[in-house]
Structure 1
Amino acid sequence: MSIGAGVALFVIGAILVWGVNVEVEWVNLDMIGYILMGAGVLVFLLGLVLMMRHRQTETVTHTSVDPAAGQSTTRRSTSISGDEVV
């Protein structure tokens, strides 16, 4: 979501800088466009960094022999970022 928001901010800023030719006395639309473009780049890069973080995955396999039946029993569990899936 942050990657899309970064792209949207950049596009809106580019439209303000190069697509709008309106002079407003109380605000500089070019400066707001450049600020939005800079914020869009930062949000985009932050989204990429957060997406590229490595998730910690742990897989455990436990094999034991059932004493009553004499059969081996295997239990597998996988944990991703603290959430256990059995």
Structure 2
Amino acid sequence: MSIGLGIFLFVVGAILTFALDVSVNWIDLDLVGYILMGAGVVVVVIGIALLARRRASVTTERSGVDPASGQRVTQRSTESDL
């Protein structure tokens, strides 16, 4: 999601900067476009860094025999690092 948002911000900024030829007295659309493009790049870089994080998980499996019924019992538990 964050990579898509970053690409969207970059594209909107590029459109404001390079494609529009509109003059507004109270705001500089070129500056807003450059700011949005910069924010888009930052969001994409953060998104890639978060995707590249290594997520570790530990799976523990225990086997034994139930003394009451004599059947084999297996218990599995998984813990993940988020």
TM bucket normalised to smaller: 0.7 to 0.9
Superimposed CA distance per residue, residues 31-68 of structure 1 (whole angstroms, 9 cap, x where no aligned partner): 11111000000011111111222222110011223334
Q: 1:38 maps to what in 2?
A: 38
* Distance in structure 2 (CA, Å) of the matches to 1:22 and 1:79: 55
How many residues in Structure 1 have an aligned counterpart in Structure 2? 82
* Distance in structure 2 (CA, Å) of the matches to 1:68 and 1:23: 84
Moved over 6 A (4+): none
Identity %: 51
Q: 1:60 maps to what in 2?
A: 60
Structure 1 counterpart SS, 2:76: strand
Consecutive unaligned residues of structure 2, counting only runs of 5 or more, are none
* Distance in structure 1 (CA, Å) of the matches to 2:42 and 2:51: 14
Aligned amino acid, residue 80 of structure 1: S
Consecutive unaligned residues of structure 1, counting only runs of 5 or more, are none
Q: State the superposition RMSD in angstroms.
A: 1.8
Q: Please give the residue correspondences for 1:6-85 in structure 2 after superposition, counting only pairs within 5 Å.
A: 6-81=6-81
1:69 to 1:26, Cα distance in 2 relative to 1, 3 A: closer
